[in-house]
Amino acid sequence: MNSRPMPLEGAVNVRDVGGYRSVSGPEIAPGRVLRADALSRLTVADVRTLGAFGLRTVVDFRMPGEILVNGEDRLPPGVTRVSLPVNGGDLGTFYDLIASGDHQRQEEVLGHGRATEFMLQVHRDFVADPRQRDGFGIALRMIADASHGLPLLYHCTSGKDRTGWMTAIVLTAFGVPHATVMNDYLLSNDIYRTRYFKLGNDLAKTGMMRDPGLLRPVLELSPAYLDAAFGEVWHRYGSFGTFLARGLDLDDQAQCQLRDALTG
């Protein structure tokens, strides 16, 4: 079963993580955890929808600079916002590169597999970098401690890289098969495909980029990216269970609490 989209006007990648089933049978209950892109452009109606949903906690993985550019989340009254900045790579460098209109420099920085390698390293760092790991670990423990604020929504800017890895952690910890975890991760490509196609055309028409395809590895998700994160887990911890316990500070009791929280 696919995660359930929540149609909002000011955010396009909002999904209920509920509905996925573990290999042992239990299913994540709807209405417990949401994943999303930034909530800074929500309309009044959107805010009302989240309020009616009963949302209690929002975890924001964006860096301060992203919030400065795009704005604070717009949330219903009484919702607790928790800031857990996760780097997710310095995409600002790419934006400056595009704005420069320097085609040769764009090819040097993004071409010949460099953009792909950048994104692979971003995903490895989700596991390797202690500060980034801490952000995911705190969010996971907040979900496990259901008495402290479910339903909970976590998000980054586009809701695909940092949010995608967080969702992969949640689903894998619950026992959802890896193929299903991967399918959920890649759903963001379907959501953004039309928008990215228009962006590429606009960049070409304005002359800012001669080859907008250079940006594709940054804008679109690849199975290799999620595999890189999981590969870093196996490399550093030997198993996903050990990663939960030692990397994310989720001991056996907390893992049981997480599964109970997700089933409601």
Average pLDDT over residues 35-44: 97
pLDDT band at 204 (very low <50, low <70, confident <90, very high): low
Q: What is the pLDDT of residue 200?
A: 64
Average pLDDT over residues 199-204: 69
Average pLDDT over residues 90-103: 72
| Beta strand 57-60 pairing with 15-16 | unpaired
Average pLDDT over residues 158-182: 97
Provide CATH code, domain 4-263. Answer: 3.90.190.10
pLDDT band at 89 (very low <50, low <70, confident <90, very high): low
Instruction: Give the separation between CA 146 and CA 261, rounded to whole angstroms.
Output: 5
pLDDT tens readout for residues 50-74: 999 999 999 999 999 899 989 999 9
Please state the domain extents for the chain.
4-263
Whole-model pTM?
Answer: 0.93
Average pLDDT over residues 193-210: 74
Whether residue 127 contacts residue 247, with contact meaning beta carbons closer than 8 Å, is answered with yes
Three-state SS for the chain is CCCEECCCCCCCCCEECCCCECCCCCECCCCCEEEECCCCCCCHHHHHHHHHHCCCEEEECCCHHHHHHHCCCCCCCCCEEEECCCCCCCCHHHHHHHHHCCHHHHHHHHCCCHHHHHHHHHHHHHHHCHHHHHHHHHHHHHHHCHHHCCCEEEECCCCCCHHHHHHHHHHHHHCCCHHHHHHHHHHHHHHHHHHHHHHHHHHHHHCCCCCHHHHHHHHCCCHHHHHHHHHHHHHHHCCHHHHHHHHCCCCHHHHHHHHHHHHC
pLDDT tens readout for residues 8-21: 999 999 999 999 99
Q: Of 147 and 234, which is predicted with more confidence?
A: 234
Q: What is the pLDDT of residue 64?
A: 93
Q: What is the pLDDT of residue 255?
A: 96
